[in-house]
Amino acid sequence: MSIHDLEKAFQDKIDKEIKIEPKDWMPEAYRKTNLRQISQHAHSEIVGMLPEGNWISRAPSLKRKAILIAKVQDEAGHGLYLYSAAETLGTSREQMVDDLLSGKAKYSSIFNYPTLTWADMGAVGWLVDGAAILNQVMLCRTSYGPYARAMVRICKEESFHQRQGFETLLVLSKGTKEQRDMCQEAINRWWWPSLMMFGPKDSESTNSDQSMKWKIKRKTNDELRQNFIDMIAEQIKLLGMTLPDPDLKWNEERKHYDFGEINWEEFWNVVKGNGPCNKQRLAARNKAHDEGAWVRAAALAYAEKRKNKLNNKAA
Amino acid sequence: MNTAINKYYYGDIPDGAGDNNSEKKSSTAESAWPLWEVFIRSKQGLDHKHAGSLHAADAEMAMENARDVYTRRQEGISLWVVESKYIHASNPDDAEMFYEPASDKVYRHPTFYDLPDELKHM
Ligand SMILES: [Fe+2]
Ligand SMILES: [Fe+2]
């Protein structure tokens, strides 16, 4: 078959909603796009543990501490599912880890913002996990099989993340004046960065959208962002708090909420490495990796030794 | 095929966008833990089903990691782990040749046999 025929057969499969599996023929650009997206997603889960890990030792009660640990542990699991999915595209775990640690690979910019108070744990769960869930629910139907399966597993675990976040804020919203202020301030801090999680506006794209055609992605950035805003603008009423956007208003004609302009300069600035915590996050990952080196080496040496023992016995 | 993808999605920031100057380091020098496949029996009476993969130095660690990574919510009551290199997979390019002969043996299916309606319990 010529390349052209192969590409046609490939697109036919996608159009018929047949999943692509690791050993199937795929265009090089499809492989690369998936590899980049899945590995960035994996890195986001791993780095995403840091802002919340920041509060584990200072959680206000044993219950909240246990919940937070469970959530952070889930995020580690999500990273591992995704690294495995990325490995099926022909890269190694070590390569991906190296790229993260050297700063070559990207991860979601949202994790370059600091978590200043306990209320941030609530806002992160509700808004950041909430935004991630919309994206991930869509990705459960992505065309690459291993990615889709990892997403199904992840989505099952995510809803607890968002619910515990909202509940944390709900408790604060019924508390003292200080607690209510803390709640509102955390929402103010996380609202705009959460909207940026969906990526640039659709109009910023000039070329035809290959990711949609390949069904890697099934909704546009703006569609997902609008879904998110419509959802949160209603949910916040239950908290008796406000979203920090004077232009946020229900549009009866569109049947959607209108909203104000996002600060894209800030978005690109954080992507480029100049966010409030970019350096800190990478330093923390590097430190953990370096300090774990002896554990990895010891485990390997131990496995090697046991294998030799077994072989000697057999001989 | 050269397709420019210049619309960036969550978790999809292009390589060129943003750079930083941390020095290059490498862990590839260390030898890597092998890859393992994990199979889980979700409840008594069911088959083990493939759940995913992970890295571990040996079988014992693979088992412990499998428990932590794939069964945090009582997803299973029994685990199998096997080093991925021992799995042999059929080739999708051969699928036609490989499975085709089965498709013309319709007599392997019960519906192939046309029997009188009066025949009961069959
Ligand atoms: Fe996650
Ligand atoms: Fe999460």
pLDDT digits (tens, 9 = 90+) for A237-279: 999 999 999 999 999 999 999 999 999 999 999 999 999 999 9
Instruction: Give the whole-angstrom CA distance, residue B91 versus residue B87.
Output: 13
| Interchain pair B72, A296: CB under 8 A | no
Please enumerate in sequence order all residues whose Cβ is within 8 A of that of A132, keeping only pairs 6 or more positions apart, or say none.
A158, A197, B10
Are the beta carbons of A270 and A109 closer than 8 angstroms? yes
Q: A74 CA distance to ligand 1 centroid (A)?
A: 7
Q: A24 CA distance to ligand 1 centroid (A)?
A: 28
- ipTM comes to 0.87
| Interchain pair B35, A87: CB under 8 A | yes
Looking at residue A202, the DSSP 8-state letter turns out to be: G
Mean pLDDT of A179-206: 92
**Among A107, A97, A151, CA closest to A273:** A107
Q: And the tokens for A113?
A: 């913002």
Instruction: Give the whole-angstrom CA distance, residue A297 versus residue A291.
Output: 11
| Interchain pair B54, A306: CB under 8 A | no
Q: And the tokens for A260?
A: 């104000």
Cα angle vertex B91, ends B85, B94, to 5°? 160
Residues 44-103 of A with CB under 8 A from B: 44, 70, 73-74, 77, 80-81, 84, 87, 92-95, 97-98, 101-103
Reported as a pLDDT band with limits 50, 70 and 90, residue A1 is confident
Please enumerate in sequence order all residues whose Cβ is within 8 A of that of B42, keeping only pairs 6 or more positions apart, or say none.
B49, B75, B76, B77
pLDDT of B20 over the 70 cut: no
Sign of CA dihedral A86, A87, A93, A98: negative
Reported as a pLDDT band with limits 50, 70 and 90, residue B21 is very low
Residues 68-97 of B with CB under 8 A from A: 68-69, 72-73, 89, 91-93
Instruction: Give the whole-angstrom CA distance, residue A58 versus residue A81.
Output: 29
Amino acid letter, residue A234: E
Residues 28-67 of B with CB under 8 A from A: 28, 30-33, 35, 52-55, 57-58, 61
Amino acid letter, residue A250: W
E strand or H helix at A45, and its extent? helix A28-47
Instruction: Give the whole-angstrom CA distance, residue A76 versus residue A47.
Output: 9
**How does pLDDT run across A299-310, given as a tens digit for each residue?**
999 999 998 998
Give chain B's mean pLDDT.
80
| Interchain pair B11, A80: CB under 8 A | no
Q: A292 CA distance to ligand 2 centroid (A)?
A: 25
**How does pLDDT run across A209-245, given as a tens digit for each residue?**
788 999 998 999 999 999 999 999 999 999 999 999 9
User: How many inter-chain contacts (A to B, CB under 8 Å) are there?
Assistant: 157
Secondary structure (3-state) at A134: helix
Are the beta carbons of A162 and A218 closer than 8 angstroms? no
pLDDT of B33 over the 70 cut: yes
Residues belonging to chain A: 315
Instruction: Give the whole-angstrom CA distance, residue B81 versus residue A52.
Output: 32
Are the beta carbons of A241 and A173 closer than 8 angstroms? yes
Mean pLDDT of B68-97: 90
Are the beta carbons of A35 and A91 closer than 8 angstroms? yes
